[in-house]
Amino acid sequence: MAAPVGAPHALPVDAVAAATRTDPATGLSRADAARRLVADGPNELTAGATRTWLQRIGEQFANPLVLLLLAAIVISLVAWALEGHGDLPFDAIAIGAIVIVNAAIGAVQERRAEKAVAALQEMAAAQAGVIRGGHYERIPARDVVVGDVIVLDEGDAVPADARLTESRALAISEASLTGESVAVRKSADAVDAQTPMAERTCMVFAGTAAVAGHGRAVVTATGMNTEVGTIATLLDRTERQPTPLEREIAAVGRFLGIAVLVIAAVVVGAIVAVSDIDSASDLVEVLLIGVSLAVAAVPEGLPAVLSIVLAIGVQRMASRNALLRRLASAETLGSATVICSDKTGTLTQGEMTVRELLIADGQIDVTGTGYGPSGELRAAGVPLGSDIAGVARQALAAGARAGNATIRLDERGWVAVGDPTEAAIVAAAAKAGTPAARPGPDRLDELAFSAERKRMTVLVTGSEPASADPMLYTKGAPEVIVDRCSHELTTTGPIALSEARRLWWQEGVDDMAGRAMRTLAIAGRAHPGPELTEESEHDLVLYAVVGIIDPPREEAAPAVADAQGAGIRVVMITGDHPRTAHQIACDLGIADAASTPVTGRELDELEGDEFADAAATTPVFARVAPTHKLDLVEALQDRGEVVAMTGDGVNDAPALKAADIGTAMGVAGTDVAREAADLVLTDDNFATIVAAVGEGRGIFHNIRSFLRYLLSSNVGEVLTMFLGVVLVGVIGLEAEGEAVVAPLTAAQILWINLLTDTGPALALGVDPIDPGVLRRPPRRPGERVLDAAMRRGIALVGLTMAIITLFMFDLKAPGGLIEGSSDTDTARTAAFTVLVLAQLFNCLNARSDRTSAFHRWAVNPWLLLAIAGSVGLQVLVVYLPVLNDAFSTTPLPLADWLWSALLASSVLWVSEVRKLLARSSARTSDPGVSPSGHGS
């Protein structure tokens, strides 16, 4: 078996050939390659074992809330059996449907997540050029083996990791693998063993592509042993963590499960203690009340309402170009405390652009971004005069002709064909009005770029009016080109290049480099001969130096500022060069000039707390590997941060999957990144993330609203039953002819629960988002959905509901503290109505734990409609004879309705006083809190 070669980038070519048992000139024989293919297996990525649909669905039932709902089904079936198998068990059927639908949705979503590694397989090149037995042939990329000699030409995908044996101006685009925004020029020279992957110039990697030049290489690793295979392994092993919302809902489910058992046991015990139970039917009635109360205490509508609210939030995000792949992730964005962002293609355009042009007469700015011809040349902010424009056009035309790239318009827009840096010069030439055609018959000769030469020179037919001789054009590293120049081009023509002027040019180059631009010098001269030699590259006229950069997206800086204003820390994590990363970070406001980027090599030297401290305080990480990105995300999570990770490349995928909310670019991003992410931005706009954060915060606010409503209403029902039984003699509940004494019947409890868990709760879930949501900090890491203040509010509202309900019963019933004149059924109907109306008043109150119910009270028409509908249903229960029999109700006079509404409104007034005190306390401790106290 041919094992992968360890550190081939540090070995000379002959050592790599010996280690792989191959000949760099003739390659492997067909027989040897066939044996190796059988031994090593095909050159493709293998996904981990996938779970069956049955396994996925089964895992959905491990959620505590789902287990609680299953228990509610059993309880409902017991109640149905105790009642004598009458009509269908509608409660059990409804709850069962909710459980099945939620399990199916969860299983489908998880299946989609497992496609991430499968997407990696699609990156493999379909065909590869190899030398077998001394002959060139094309074979399926999956048949490439260790020791094969592969041939790479412009446009070829790299089929496997390989050590270069020769390079002729070979440039490889590695952005998706390493984050390097500039195509990497390759050479066959070995590098140090500790060199980061992004700087291993003698290696080519599977999943990348040749954009210029030619080369040959010996394959050193295939399949899962390649660098992209390492990422696939990381991705497969990375556990997707439950979202904060999923953890919170699970905690609520566990709490409610225990509470339901205790409540049912206590209430049933209390009823038995105060009632005169002397028959089996009496015992059945007691158990039925206990079962009904247990079902009422379980907010079985919670999963359905939660799913609907999240789905609506997902639709709103989609309308703003953010597609969520997991419903529960909708809220997570609102909880984000850190956004870790890739640079290339995320914060930047992902397209090389000429930003500046330095000519002898001064600096020229080039507007427009990307490879399109839209833009113009400006000097000091104004369009160029004709003389300077002429020099600029001549310089850019020369630079465009001294390359092999071009630009073209397709369905994606303007794209580069060939080396991105060369394409950037072609685009700049088009902006200057001199587009350059792809190299054609007018090119007479060429001296190719190499890592040693650091320049490319071409000889073309004469094009300048003053000369019929062929023209030599060259571009390359400024320190190489300027040394070969004897003149510089000005608006009056070429003049001698003095030492002082050489220094001036060097200062200009240093200034551009200091602002993270890649610099290239352009020069030329007439050349009488038909052929080029290295001796031809002297006595040149220096035309210009261009400054090229992958520029920040225009919307990125405002979006970063918005995120920071919302209390979210933004961190850049990239595989690009530290200087480039730091400059872009400073331009965007992520870092300042005093900060220092931390590199992947430096991260390798940190352990334990040092690594955690670096993750918590450093704004820019550069030259990092995929494992570093994953480690940084996990280190932040270990500190309790809720991490949103953005990226577009293969190298981002493991971190995207591990983050609390992985965010991939939908246009420029790879399939791998999109499949691993929770959120996909269809416009590749970093600002969309910030907008989605606002949506997420609004979703969390609404989830708290309907949780507050559901739980406080359930507490009100439970306390009404419990206190009614305990205070049976005090409120005059001892009724003649009734063995079982309770303030409400089982049917009335279930009816109240039906009203609570449907329209009003759902309407609260779609409350419009407060416009000021992004002006507040994110909720603190570890802060519970049901925090102490919310629990106190729920208890106070529930107790108020119980007191006013029992007061109404006492007011109507004979005996008790207040002598009434009505019978028990009328007293129960009045108390029943008070409790229903109290819960409807609670709809308005539950919209916030601190904000007044009268703030934007009419902004949600669905809530007002739900309240009106519930009142209408209660009127039917009170007045329709058929429902009177089913729910043990009697018609009430108008006065009783007025008394019921007045008592029920006390829920609102008690909460208003509590909120007023809470806002006053908050202003005392934090003067910056707004008087309205907006918040959850």
User: Hey, which residues are catalytic here?
Assistant: 342
Instruction: Give the DSSP letter string of 612-651.
Output: HHHHHH-SEEES--HHHHHHHHHHHHHTT--EEEEE-SGG
Q: Are strands 493-496 and 569-573 parallel, antiparallel or unpaired?
A: unpaired
d(CA 209, CA 876): 72
* Residue with token string 């330095």: 358
Tell me the C-alpha distance between 436 and 431, whole Å.
Answer: 11
SS3 131: strand
CB 394 within 8 A of CB 202: no
Q: What's the rounded Cα separation, in Å, for the pair 597 and 393?
A: 38
Beta strand 493-496 with 485-490 is antiparallel
CA 564 to chain centre: 17
What is the C-alpha separation between 164 and 780, in angstroms, rounded?
51
- Complete DSSP assignment for 311-340: HHHHHHHHHTTEEESSTTHHHHHHH--EEE
Contact 839, 714 (CB under 8 A): no
| 861-879 helix and 824-845 helix, angle to the nearest 10 degrees | 180
C-alpha torsion sign, points 413, 417, 419, 423? negative
Location of structure tokens 């003067």: 927
Q: Could you write out the three-class secondary structure of 148-207? A: CEEEEECCCECCCEEEEEEEEEEEEECHHHHCCCCCEECCCCCCCCCCCHHHCCCEECCC
| DSSP string for residues in 465-476 | TT--S-EEEEEE
End-to-end CA distance of the chain: 62
The whole-angstrom separation of Cα 518 and Cα 419 is 14
H or E stretch covering 354: strand 353-359
591-611 burial code (b ≥16 CB/10 A, e <16): beeeeebbbbebbbebeeeeb
Neighbour tally for 444: CB within 10 Å: 17
Which parts of 198-243 fold into alpha helices (H)? 227-237
DSSP string, 859-924: S-HHHHHHHHHHHHHHHHHHH-HHHHHHHT-----HHHHHHHHHHHTHHHHHHHHHHHHHHHHHHH
Helix or strand (DSSP H, E) at 725: helix 686-726
For tokens 């994590």, what's the residue? 573
- Provide the sign of the torsion angle of the four alpha carbons 238, 243, 248, 253, taken in this order: negative
Could you tell me how far CA 84 lies from the centroid of its own chain?
53
